[in-house]
Chains A and B, each alone.
Chain A
Amino acid sequence: MADELELLRRANPVPDDAPHFADGPLDGRAEHRLQRLLNEPRPGRRFRPLPASAGRTGRARLVWGLAATAVVLVIAVNAVLGDPGTSRAVAAPRPLTVHAASAPVPLRDMVALADAAAAAGSPGPRKGTHVQSWSLGMSDGKPPVTLPEERVVRWRADASHTELVVATDPRRPGRPVLTDEGGEPHLVADGHVISRTTYPPMWSDAPPEAPPPHTAARLRVYLTEIARTQADRGTAALSTAELLDAVAELLGHWTLGARESAAVVRLFAGTGGLRPAGEVTDRLGRPGHAYVYDARGVRHMLILEPRTGAVLGMEDTFTEDAPEYGVKAGAVMGYSAWMR
């Protein structure tokens, strides 16, 4: 019998001449990405536009216009940062807790509320997004870290757009923030600009770039196009997990209007997978109704605005340990809070 390395070699799932991956010239997308890297703004042009004090100008609102709440869990980042004095500046937030004695509101009731709120047809949808996120960064042999970022995408009338990504944690205004900009986690000042990119005019009629429909039936088709490849679109309806994914993707591109939000709530109600959990206060201090879906070791929480049904946020929490990455059950894998 061949030696173990030779056996493993024969079991290579993607040999060097595998379709799609064989050596050769770059394809169009790879070439495009290379050109984007070569032409991106240089680090030397980065700057910190945000004042250290809590101003109320347009740019300042990016960081300071958010409510701060308590941060609980301090994680061991000394090994990563190598500076004992910084460890308390970095914290991994706990999952949201449902308010005791709050009454869960069924999604079908939220459908009625959202429909009523959308009756006037305003506000309308707006291309672009404003999201604060906390992402768990994991790597072999190092403690996981939580990386807070704020991302603002604004489109202009000429179809060009800008994307600004800032390291900030609104729950800890003015405190140093952990980022992995450049590869390794390290602390930067609150408001540090991770990237500021201006994109030339571009058009697309495909989701999620295309304007989202405001009826549930058409929005379902639109979201299916986001969630699935063309070959799979004609099969079963979107699962709860797929719908959560697709809506998050949509919210990464669009700020929904009242009618689109109502359609989203109707679709969530239709999947039947989300369980009403009760009232929560989200990480930006906003009241919301929480809906929970557990799957494959992760608890997904959807947070809806109580009067309009607009999606305020989504939280993914490990429900099982992932020792390979040093993650324990209860750690928040990711949290996104969308703002208008």
Chain B
Amino acid sequence: MSPGDALGRPAVEPAAAAPRNAARHSAARAAAAVDRVLEARDLHLSFGAIQALVGVNFHVAAGELVSIIGPNGAGKSSLLNCLSGFYAPSSGTIRFDGRDIGRASPPRRAAMGIARTFQGIQTYPSMTVRENILCGCHCRMRTGLIAGALWWGPSRREMVRFVDEAEAIIEFLELEPLRHTRVGELGYGLRKRVDLGRALAIDPKVLILDEPMAGMNADEKGDLARYILDIHDARGVPVVLVEHDMEVVMDISDRVMVLEWGRTIADGTPAEVRADPDVVRAYLGQE
């Protein structure tokens, strides 16, 4: 169906997506053994005398939704910052799609397909929803500044293609009524959704979400959890989620990794992690 057809709807066939629920965990695990999209081995990171990460191993496999949990200061954000290139670990390797990316800059990693959202609001308030999402396409643009300024052939065609992609994301995130609204006028939950949309615009091969639900009410959390699952199911994008809301984490994750004082204390299915004595001690304290 041509894009100009009024009847063209996004057709997502069930076969294209990973299975869910009961079947999901085992399938994801089977995949894990063969296809690690992003992997960190024996990461160490310290700030002066403080050891933020102590020999942490981490991986996310194709089609997997992994959550990282832990008390404040456990090293969750430090791990994400190492993965996305904002921190350089003092030792250890990070591999993406089988390649060592330890020396790649954050923009380089974004261009490779590692998308990340940050804690708090990082959208551009004076730009519209669609413009914010289009910003995510920037790192994929092939035509340069001069071609863009002259607005000639390839640059123009590229823009038309990206607008269409941005619109597909707008439809996916149900932002149609707000596409031309300035993000500064939106509420917190919607801005986070736009933030997620911008991350999707880089056409990610892995999506890293740092506390996307902090400060949201229950409805907003439910909505966002739904979108994260849909991204994961419909697009098959592996997701790395750092989140404090245990209910959400246990509900949507394939696998949960628990950090404490820079060390991994548990790594398994939500049920396994919930029953792990070390996790119970870390979260509930010890007598």
Q: Do A and B come from one complex?
A: no
